[in-house]
Amino acid sequence: MPEGLAELHVHIEGTLEPELIFILAERNGIALPYRDLDDLRSRYAFDDLQSFLDLYYANMAVLRTAEDFADLARAYFARAARAGVTRAEFFFDPQAHTARGVAVHEVVAGLSDAVAGARREFGIDAAMIASIVRDRPVPEAHEVFGELLRLGAPIIGLGLDSAEVGYPPSLFEDVFARARAEGLHVTAHAGEEGPPEYVWQALDLLGAERIDHGIRSLEDPALVARLVDERIPLTVCPFSNVRLRAVDSLAEHPLRRMLAEGLAVSVHSDDPAYFGGYVDDNLVGLTDALGLTEAEREVLRRNSWDAAFL
């Protein structure tokens, strides 16, 4: 078993810290709608997933060039290394950038440059997973995936993220079939705000090898039995669940029940710049709130490696 943690559910755009937002805005001549850092930070109170996404996408305006994306990824690798991460499989959202006029090649060039040096610079084995933004038009998903293929983007998998309710995995069955045909791994956000049915669809229609979030799977005993029997990994993000009101508090988080049920759950940071902490912070918070034992933390660590696309 490798040393350290494998972080498998983190959105690189969600690691964009307020300080870097201001640095990139100045570099790119972008006028921010915030008076200062404190004004920006004051807006990090979210009622639900959509209220978070509104700020998340607005802040991406500062990401314009390959250099910006490389700086973003390197900043995450530096912080992740301090958290004990030695394998990072991070999501990026091409459509979030093409929709505002940034070419896919700028995104891919910057991120892949940072990935290429991650082991040497930070001791992290890093890999990229392109994510389909589910609340954008389905034909656009096919277009951006085709562009990634034309560029020969060094991605290891295809994911599905953004606003879950009303955008079931079934909408994207065809593009994920293309991904599997290309030999890519498949993962999907399901069962955080959306119902257990979305988890079933992710497995049966998309061919998902792991489920991102999946906390509402507990509502469906038959689904739990399947996830346990097939050892389908669930990449859970506790701080995210609480900040987006999917769970009322860390003390009420279902992680310990998920472990007791035999689910292959592991802990990750999702969008740490927005949700108050990186993967080490999540683990400390859970230990304090739930009384996680050292043995349970080791199970979570081992599960993260078992779930990695290695």
What's the pLDDT at 1?
78
What's the pLDDT at 32?
94
β-bridge mates for residue 235, sequence order: 212, 266
Q: How far apart are CA 76 and CA 59, in angstroms?
A: 16
Handedness of CA 221, 223, 226, 228 (dihedral sign): negative
Minimal CA–CA distance to 8: which of 198, 221, 210? 210
| Burial classification of residue 229, based on how many CB atoms lie within 10 Å of its CB (0-12 exposed, 13-18 middle, 19 or more buried) | exposed
What's the pLDDT at 47?
84
What's the pLDDT at 21?
98
What's the pLDDT at 207?
98
User: pLDDT tens digits, residue range 80-95?
Assistant: 999 999 999 999 999 9
Tokens standing for residue 16: 């964009």
What's the pLDDT at 212?
98
What's the pLDDT at 201?
98
Q: What is the block-wise mean pLDDT of the chain (310 residues), using blocks of 10 residues? A: 94 97 97 94 88 92 98 98 98 97 98 98 98 97 98 98 96 98 98 97 98 98 98 98 95 97 98 96 97 96 98
List all residues 6 or more positions away from 186 whose beta carbon is below 8 Å from its beta carbon. Answer: 157, 158, 159, 176, 179, 180, 206, 207, 208, 209
Tokens standing for residue 300: 């979570």
What's the pLDDT at 170?
98
List all residues 6 or more positions away from 208 whose beta carbon is below 8 Å from its beta carbon. Answer: 169, 186, 187, 188, 190, 202, 232
Domain ranges of the chain: 5-307
Q: What is the pTM of this model?
A: 0.97
Superfamily of segment(s) 5-307: Metal-dependent hydrolases (3.20.20.140)
SS3 content of the chain, % helix, strand, coil (to 5): 55, 15, 30
Q: Which residues are catalytic?
A: 192
